[in-house]
Amino acid sequence: MYQPIQLLATYHVLASVGAGDTVAVSARVTTVAEEDGSPTHSGRFIAIQRIMTETVQWKVARVSTGEWRVCSGPQFGAYGSDSVTTWQPAGASYLSAGQLADSVYRADPPSHGGVQRTPN
């Protein structure tokens, strides 16, 4: 039911290419944790706190309100709470992962370089 999800700390847009109401965007993202459902206990989660940087791609589309929304590509966030999550390494938690994300964000704030603006 659950798929691995990562906790996003920062990103840098590398490029975007548009066609019609859809834009393909590539970005370098840095995440600080990965969480997934427990393979052995329903309703429980396993999370690993670590820093990882990779290049990802999304497709985004303009919706009727004029905003851009992701229509395919990776998602970021969290599923559980500390009461139902086993963290690695020992001592890690949602709080420590959030603090690590804040630290990474402050050291390397997001950027939108390489974006080609498309007319509305």
pLDDT digits (tens, 9 = 90+) for 85-103: 999 999 999 999 999 999 9
How far apart CA 92 and CA 24 sit, in angstroms, is: 35
23: in domain: yes
State the residue range of the domain holding 100.
5-107
What pLDDT is attached to residue 1? 56
* pTM summary value: 0.84
115: in domain: no
**Which of 1-15, 24-38, 59-73 is predicted most confidently?**
24-38
What pLDDT is attached to residue 119? 46
Number of domains the chain is built from: 1
How far apart CA 46 and CA 36 sit, in angstroms, is: 6
What pLDDT is attached to residue 118? 47
E strands present in the chain: 5-19, 22-37, 45-62, 68-72, 85-88
Q: Positive or negative CA dihedral for 62, 30, 106, 112?
A: negative
